[in-house]
Amino acid sequence: MGKEYRFIIPGRAYSGANKNATRYKAKINETAAKIITHPLAESDLYLKVDYFHLGRHTVDRDNLLKCVSDGLKGIAYNDDNQIGHAEVFDHNMTSSFTYEGPMPSEIEDWLNKREEFVAVTIRLRHILHLTVFTTKAP
């Protein structure tokens, strides 16, 4: 798989412990299904979750990762044990933050909207690259 899948989950993020978790997992599943046509078969996948928020509330990163990985099950992969490496980044859009890697245009577009969202990237683990992009507070 040389393919990388990236998509945005608009709106507030929820952790697996939240009463809205089931609905949020369904939203993740529906969003991913628009991009990913069949589950990936590879067993060494990389999952990146970027949580962009306005600082009014925060979500525990481990619980957010669990919610996202559960929401992707059956669409991006058959079992979350296929994920060999996962990272979650918390970005408060009301202050300076660092984004690791080249910033995709869809993230830039959502940052300009000044609305909360989660950006998800999934690909084979060995297809990694690193670039650092730092923003300044508005």
Give pLDDT, residue 2.
Answer: 63
CATH topology (fold) of 5-134: 60s Ribosomal Protein L30; Chain: A; (3.30.1330)
- Residue ranges of the domains in the chain? 5-134
pLDDT in tens, the chain (138 residues): 468 899 999 999 998 888 999 999 999 999 999 999 989 988 889 999 999 999 877 899 999 999 999 999 999 999 989 999 999 999 999 988 888 778 888 999 999 898 999 999 999 876 555 555 556 655
Q: How far apart are CA 79 and CA 47, in angstroms?
A: 13
Question: What's residue 65's pLDDT?
Answer: 95
Say which amino acid occupies 66.
K
Q: Tell me the sheet residues that pair with 137.
A: none
Alpha-carbon gap, residue 16 to 104, rounded angstroms: 27
